[in-house]
A and B are shown apart, each in its own frame.
Chain A
Amino acid sequence: MGALKVKNEMRGQSAYIEFQGGIDEDAVFSNVAVVGANEVVLDMEGVTGVNSCGIREWIKWLKTLPSGVKLNYVNCPKLVVDQMNMVAGFFPQGSKIESFYTPYYCEGCGNETMVPFFNGKEFSGSKVSAPENVKCSSCGEPAEMDVIEAKYFKFLDNQGK
């Protein structure tokens, strides 16, 4: 998957953390500084894979964060959303999500187009307003949302109110 690189910086009261690479057995989170932050923004855009050991390390790390710190996930690729739906604790109860990707599929050429869904636009709370007119990024023909909605958007119910 490629070793996980973690870049973090303080932005006001928020710790903004960018991940690049695979969340696996080699992922190290212990040196991620969130001291003094009341919010931790987790930018998952660069996550290229998640395996079973990575899921465990992730959950263990989140459990070490100070209580009261709000988690805010951004730019989550499908492979991260899948784990949020499969394993309790990957997206803990009360977390927020600002944006994630949803796959659209082109029957014509078989290409997959990832469409970003933003809080307040394509979804609000657990209500999803998926865009209907999406064009295939490869051939330009219409592409259809390629998820089972009840399953893929289930994690939205876990968000903090």
Chain B
Amino acid sequence: MSAALKLGNSTSVVVHFGEAMPKGVNGDRCVLVSDQHETLTVMDFLVSSGIHHAVNKNHINFDQELKVAEHMVASPDDFFKDPATIIIGGGLSEGIKGYERVIAQSQEKSRRLSEMKDYLATIPKSKVITDSLTVISDELITNAFYNAPVDGKKQRKFCDIDRNINIGLQEHERPRFIVKHNDSWVMVGVLDPFGSLNPHDLLSHILKGLKNGVNSVMNLESSGGAHIGSLMVLDLSVGLYVAVDQDKRTLVCATLPLGKSHRVIAQHPKSIHVLFREQKNR
């Protein structure tokens, strides 16, 4: 049986693993609740069903993760505006610290990653997750410069360019790098003003890599990116949050817990959340 989950003015449908999607319900309003630990199994179900949210019963913050899904469905604009409050604050901004940086050119990335590492060093019990957060942030920033920018015809401008060529963006095109935390979680994210990411394509790409191995999706020969960044981000994080306001903005965030060992993090089931607001008149 599917259950309804209500928060504010919105109702989402909870689908338990192995159940069929309820008829007449869109996947973007569904939350898959499972006890499956295999990311591949969960991702396969998400891609084939069209469900946008997956939360595991054994997640450290199970209730909060359900609320995240609800918030993303009910208040997408709030999510874009302040993702940390929703993702790690459970809707409350108290106790959340951190910073945001607008990045003008891709060669700034190194400096911003060093800055983040220095900042993380001030947070107790963050040493275990610093390397992972650095890789995640690296991939998200790279994506915002080389994959996100599109021209007036929605063609990607820089996706085939080698990543060691510096890209400078106009003020209105620049991504925002977000580093936030409370006593239990660290969230990093990147917001870009293009909205060019197709989350379904992203999940399908990740699924292919999970099914057939990282090398099966890796771009070894041609120019452009290596095409394995998204797999690395998912592999290293405990929660992945992808929000796309088509043609307007894309926000991708990832979370890791503080004070947990590598072993706990590696075995922890992943939450995956997608918000996709399509342009109807495209």
Contacts and interface: CB of A to CB of B under 8 A. Distances in A.
Interface in A21-52: 22, 24-26, 49-52
A52 B225 contact: yes
Interface residues of A, number: 34
Given A53-B142, A53-B163, A110 B219 contact: no
A87 B215 contact: yes
B128 A55 contact: no
Interface string A123-161: 000000000000000000000101110010000000000
Contacts of B262: 78, 103, 105, 112, 146-147
Contacts of B37: none
B279 interface: no
Interface in A97-111: 103, 105, 107, 109-111
A4 B212 CA distance: 31
Interface in A59-105: 59-60, 78-79, 86-89, 103, 105
Interface string B198-235: 00000000000000011100111000011111001001
Contacts of A2: 110, 114
A1 B113 contact: yes
Interface stretch (B39-47, B71-79, B131-139, B188-196): B131-139
Interface centre among A107, A109, A112, A147 (most CB of B within 10 A): A112
B235 A147 contact: no
B276 to A, nearest CB: 24
A113 to B, nearest CB: 10
Nearest to A54: B226
B123 to A, nearest CB: 11
Contact of B131 (A49, A60, A88): A49
Contacts of A59: 220
Given A1-B134, A88-B213, A112-B127, A52 B139 contact: yes
A56 interface: yes
Contacts of B128: 103, 105, 110, 112, 146
Given A88-B213, A110-B259, A111-B127, A53 B266 contact: no
Contacts of A56: 218-220, 226
A50 B132 CA distance: 10
B112 to A, nearest CB: 11
A76 to B, nearest CB: 13
Interface of B: 110, 113-114, 124-125, 127-128, 131, 134-135, 138-139, 142, 162-164, 213-215, 218-220, 225-229, 232, 235, 259, 261-263, 266-267
9 contacts: A1-B138, A49-B134, A51-B138, A51-B232, A52-B142, A88-B213, A105-B261, A147-B266, A148-B263
Interface of A: 1-3, 22, 24-26, 49-53, 55-56, 59-60, 78-79, 86-89, 103, 105, 107, 109-112, 144, 146-148, 151
